[in-house]
Amino acid sequence: MKRLIQLFLFFILFLIGTIFYNNYFTDKTPKQAIKQKIDDDKNFPEMTDKNNLIKNLKYDVRLNDNSQYTITSDLSELLYDGDVESVSMNIVIAKFISSDGSILTITSDKAIFNNNIYDTKFIDNVKILYLDHVIFSDKLDLNFTKNNVEIYDNVVYQGVQGDIITDNILIDLITKNVEIFMNDPKNKVTVNTN
């Protein structure tokens, strides 16, 4: 009788152990679902490369000549082309502080920032503030490799002495020289004085 009770208790213990093991230690996912999950995981890295979204991104760069460049955006996406990382930005504010302390502020709806060489292309509703000068345009290229700022497409300059309507403004970041010119040399730059 004692052996029968021991055998019964051992059987109950074995049954509880089996139920516990099946509930907590085995994967209940069917084999076909596991294969589908593995197939989906193969595509996962491509999806994350295309969806690297960052809110409130800020880059702060100190350049060789002690000038400083800061760019911020509300929403950004990291893009990769080979080893080159660029950042597609929305609602952008950038400040370039030259070594002499003068500040150039740029705002735009969109921008493409090259994370390796810091060159930036600003697009749509570009507004540039420099001292008492305001410039509006559709596009602006801030090029640190050439040390210039190229402002183009529907450029309107507003200053203390009047307004200028032109196709292009080119600013040298080192010498501060400014060139104002039209795409077609036959057309004239429009100047309205106050």
Answer with the residue of higher pLDDT: 92 or 12: 92
d(CA 93, CA 108): 7
- What's domain 53-193's architecture? Sandwich (2.60)
Q: How many other C-beta atoms lie within 10 A of the C-beta of residue 140?
A: 25
Please, where are the H alpha helices in 25-135?
A: 31-50
Q: Residue range 46-56: average pLDDT?
A: 62
Instruction: Read off the pLDDT of each residue in 89-106 and give the average, rounded to a whole number.
Output: 90
How much is the pLDDT for 61? 87
| Contacts by 88-95, CB closer than 8 A, 24 or more apart | 88/112, 89/57, 89/113, 92/122, 94/69, 94/70, 94/120, 94/122, 94/142, 95/68, 95/69, 95/70, 95/71
Mean pLDDT over residues 173-179, rounded?
Answer: 84
Q: Is the whole-model pTM more than 0.75?
A: no
DSSP-assigned beta bridge partners for residue 85 = 80
- Which pLDDT belongs to residue 17? 76
Domain limits of the chain?
Answer: 2-49, 53-193
Nearest residue to 62 via CA among 122, 151, 130, 144 = 144
- Tell me what the pLDDT averaged over the chain comes to: 81
